[in-house]
Amino acid sequence: MNSSMAMASLIMPQKCPSALPSVHHPIRRFSIRAKPICLSMSNVQSDVRKEDVVIIGAGIAGLATAVSLQRMGIQSVVLEQADTLRTGGTSITLFKNGWKVLDAIGVGNQLRSQFLEIQGMVIKTEDGKELRSFTFKDVDESQEVRGVERKILLETLAKQLPQNTISFSSKLKNIESSENDETLLQLENDSQISAKIVIACDGIRSPVAKWMGFSDARYVGHCAFRGLAFYPDGQPLEPKVNYVYGRGVRAAYVPVSPTKVYWFVCFNKPSPGPKITDPSILRQKIMELIKGWSSELLNIINSTPDDTIIRTPLVDRWLWPGITPPVSKGKVVLVGDAWHPMTPNLGQGACCALEDGVVLAQKLAQAMKFGTLTVEDAFKSYGSERWPRIFPLSIRANLVGTLLQLDNPVVCSFRNNVLVPKLVKLGPLLEHTNFDFEPLV
Ligand SMILES: Cc1cc2nc3c(=O)[nH]c(=O)nc-3n(C[C@H](O)[C@H](O)[C@H](O)COP(=O)(O)OP(=O)(O)OC[C@H]3O[C@@H](n4cnc5c(N)ncnc54)[C@H](O)[C@@H]3O)c2cc1C
């Protein structure tokens, strides 16, 4: 049997040789299918569970990939270090490319019904003077922009998976290739898994990317405060993204749902500094940055519950050809921020993680269902299809952020008086939201 045929057999149900019980973890909501075996490897001390497809990380990339694979008839298990899905966090903006993927994996309409469609954008100065406004559909009839609460997006994706798919409190501690062409995953809770295929969706600090030789994501010199304002009696805004451009500081706010408004304040800082979680300190720092700005933004921040306010240093990593390692090593592959952390200036990190998930699922299905590719070649094909999309987008997002964070008064005056009012065109700015893929069948 050639290796692609061997992989094709992985999707067939396999019988457990003996009636061994499921492994139970101390804290988790779902149990995972377990097939314990004992490997005769010198460095393996205890029973090793055997799995076909293991996804590491139950973020947007991990869950979207698991759902995409499931739609192609391929089951996986998802290991998540936390004891629940990420409940905190604010909102992300998804453009039409993100919605196209959410539709393809069957959750688009569930999410649409909960989140407002954003009609356009308005760019303002710190004192509230309007510099320019655009309507998305005037530029592109097919454009779709909505803010989506991250928590609800994750819960919606997780609900598509069989109950025993996600294993919480399962933090990957170590990864190594094993002699049998599999990958040995050692978890913090001392359990071990031998996986035929590993899909690492473990975010910007991905231990798997590090193991594959990737450098750490690079701090780009800006941090963002974010929050989700709550208006129990209804939020007051029109469905538009509002951008406010200051000198070295910029902000945005956008209604997400009838009661919630997402906002961020982005500012320059030479080094990220220590992590701050105390909400009163966070609020104080935000207010210092936007002192004297229009009252609309201040009111929104004042309507924000403490537990949604966070500060995040912005990072990225450019996938230089010939220098950056390939996206896969054998049967281990990277997806989402684990592969291509990018700054949020184009609102594309999560959209691209969703895109990665469907493209990877299609490639893997060619190996596992149809036997037309080996798994290794499927991963290489995924990498070569995705790289030309991801590499320029990461650079573009970085450059947009650098430009918008400039604090030179002459440059800011040119931006406010010439560039934004007269030169900027929305069409080319959103060109990157055009993305097509084969149907998931
Ligand atoms: C300020 C800001 C604003 C943004 N706004 C937007 C936007 O508007 N639109 C957009 O498209 N994108 C946006 N993004 C980008 C988006 O948030 C990310 O691209 C997206 O969350 C990536 O998802 P992911 O699943 O790859 O990574 P993550 O969301 O980081 O998920 C990784 C998961 O892996 C788990 N994990 C990590 N290590 C381990 C381990 N060792 N073992 C087990 N599990 C592990 C984590 O707990 C986590 O659940 C923004 C980002 C930032 C910082």
CATH of the domain at 228: 3.30.9.30
> Could you tell me if 199 and 261 lie in one domain?
no
pLDDT, mean over the chain? 90
Q: pLDDT tens digits, residue range 32-86?
A: 343 433 333 434 445 899 999 999 999 999 999 999 999 999 999 999 999 999 8
Distance 393 CA to ligand 1 centre (A): 17
Asked if the model's pLDDT at residue 14 lies above 80, the reply is: no
CA of 88 from ligand 1 middle (Å) equals 12
Contacts of 403 (CB under 8 A, 6+ apart): none
- For ligand 1, the distance from its centroid to the CA atom of residue 343, given in whole angstroms, is 12
Interatomic CA distance for residues 426 and 243, integer angstroms: 14
In a domain, 439, yes or no: no
Residue 151 predicted with pLDDT over 70? yes
CB 111 within 8 A of CB 100: no
43 compared with 361, residue with greater pLDDT: 361
Give the CATH number for residue 49.
3.50.50.60
User: What pLDDT was estimated at residue 436?
Assistant: 93
Residue 232 has a pLDDT of: 97
Closest atom of ligand 1 to 264 CA is 1
Secondary structure of the chain: what % helix, strand, coil (to 5)? 35, 25, 40
DSSP letter (8 states) at residue 18: S
Asked if the structure places residue 203 within a domain, the reply is yes
Cα dist from 58 to 325, 335, 348, 392, whole Å: 24, 12, 19, 27
Mean pLDDT to the nearest integer, 198-206: 98
Ligand 1 centre to CA of 184 (Å) is 24
Model confidence at 206: pLDDT above 60: yes
Residue 384 included in any domain: yes
* 223 plus 137 within the same structural domain: yes
Asked whether residue 339 falls in the same domain as residue 388, the answer is yes
pLDDT band at 22 (very low <50, low <70, confident <90, very high): very low
Q: How far does residue 296's CA lie from ligand 1's centre (Å)? A: 29
Share of the chain above pLDDT 90, in %: 84
Q: Are residues 254 and 127 in the same domain?
A: yes
The yes-or-no verdict on residue 16 having pLDDT over 70 is: no
The arithmetic mean of pLDDT across residues 185-197, rounded, is 97
Asked whether residue 438 is domain-assigned, the answer is: no
Q: How far is CA 432 from the centre of its chain?
A: 17
Q: Is 233 exposed, middle or buried (0-12, 13-18, 19+ CB in 10 A)?
A: exposed
Q: What is the pLDDT of residues 106-133, one digit of tens each?
A: 999 999 999 999 999 999 999 999 999 9
If asked whether residues 193 and 75 sit together in one domain, one would say yes
pTM of this prediction? 0.90
Average pLDDT estimate for 201-229 = 97
Does 223 share its domain with 243? yes
Burial of residue 380 (number of CB atoms within 10 Å: 0-12, 13-18, 19+): middle
Ligand 1 pocket test: which of 32, 80, 191 has the largest number of ligand atoms within 8 Å of its C-beta? 80
- The Å distance, Cα 337 to ligand 1 centre, comes to 6
**Ligand 1: residue whose CA is nearest its atom 3:** 344
Residues 192 and 303 in one domain: no
Structural domain that includes position 171: 3-86+154-216+318-395
Does a structural domain hold residue 441?
no
Q: What are 394-410's pLDDT values in tens digits?
A: 999 999 999 999 999 99
- Residue 59 CA to ligand 1 center (angstroms) comes to 6
Same domain, 73 and 187: yes
Tally of domains within the chain? 2
* 143 and 57, same domain (yes or no): no
Pocket test for ligand 1, best of 55, 91, 92 (most atoms within 8 A of CB): 92
In a domain, 440, yes or no: no
Residues 6+ apart with CB under 8 A from 62: 55, 56, 78, 80, 199, 201, 202, 335, 336
Q: What are phi and psi of 340, to 5 degrees?
A: -130, 65
Say whether both 389 and 261 belong to one domain: no
Instruction: Please tell me whether residues 79 and 160 are part of one structural domain.
Output: yes
Give the binding-site residues of ligand 1, using a 6 Å CB cut-off.
56-62, 79-82, 86, 92-94, 171-172, 201-203, 207, 224, 226, 312, 336-338, 344, 347-351, 353
- Which atom of ligand 1 lies closest to the CA of 350? 11
427 Cα–ligand 1 center, Å: 27
Are 277 and 177 in a shared domain? no
pLDDT value at residue 441: 80
> Mind listing the pLDDT tens digit for each residue in 264-321?
999 999 999 999 999 999 999 999 999 999 999 999 999 999 999 999 999 999 999 9
